[in-house]
Amino acid sequence: MSVNDFSLRQQMHILYSDHQGWLQTWLRRRLGDSFEAADLTQDTFVSILKNEQAADILEPRPFLATIARRLMAHRHRRQLLESAYLDALSALPEPVAASPELQLLALEALQQIDMALDGLPPAVKEAFLLAHLEELSYAEIAERLKVSSSSVKQYLTRANRQCLFALAA
């Protein structure tokens, strides 16, 4: 173990020891669920550890709260996506409904697409959703977004490329 690795582990240990209890209480008050709060607390610290950010933190509690809020928003968005997908599946007639394995694969693909779109500018994401969910034409999307059709084409090219790369990874 190098000196830098040891230092990072020490900083992470101090950060966790000093603020884990506070963060879990903060999350429990917002979520009303101690189990979900515990999960998000761990996810927050794992995120910091993965990005090796422990050394860069000047104000730990606001920093932890910001990461936790983002994780809560991401979890909420994923739950909405899953719920909408399951609702759509339940509306299908029985012979058309996919097997549980296919449902899980489709849900995972939707989550990958959602994460890929999350990093795009709002107009690009909206153009993608309008094209693929509402099946609008370039002209209709351009009118709705108040941009040119060529901009819509560029947006969709960018979004489709992002999704293909996400699904291929």
Q: Is the pLDDT of residue 153 over 90?
A: yes
What is the reported pLDDT for 55? 66
Q: Note the pLDDT of residue 98.
A: 74
89 within a domain of the structure (yes/no): no
| pLDDT tens-place string over residues 21-51 | 999 999 999 999 999 999 999 999 998 888 7
**Which of 78, 108, 143 lies at the terminal end of a domain, its last residue?**
78
Determine contact, residues 162/116, Cβ cutoff 8 Å. Answer: yes
Amino acid (one-letter) located at 63: F
Q: Do both 110 and 54 map to the same domain?
A: no
Its domain, for residue 72, covers 3-78
- Mean pLDDT score of the chain: 86
Domain boundary among 45, 78, 111: 78
Helices (H), the chain: 3-31, 34-50, 60-90, 100-118, 122-132, 138-145, 149-168
What does the chain come to in residues?
169
For residues 8 and 39, state if they share a domain.
yes
Q: How many C-beta atoms lie closer than 10 Å to residue 80's C-beta?
A: 11
Look up the CATH number of the domain holding residue 146: 1.10.10.10
Looking at the fold, whether 68 and 16 belong to one and the same domain comes out as yes
Number of domains in the chain: 2
Tell me: the pLDDT tens digits for 84-113? 888 887 787 776 667 888 888 888 888 888
- Whether residues 11 and 70 fall in one domain: yes
Angle at 28 between CA 25 and CA 29, to 5 degrees: 90
66 and 103, same domain (yes or no): no
Lowest mean pLDDT among 13-17, 35-39, 103-107, 139-143: 103-107
For residue 139, pLDDT over 70 is answered with yes
Q: Indicate the pTM of the whole model.
A: 0.55
124 in a domain, yes or no?
yes
How many angstroms separate the CA atoms of 40 and 67, rounded? Answer: 10
| Residue 155 near residue 127, CB atoms below 8 Å | yes
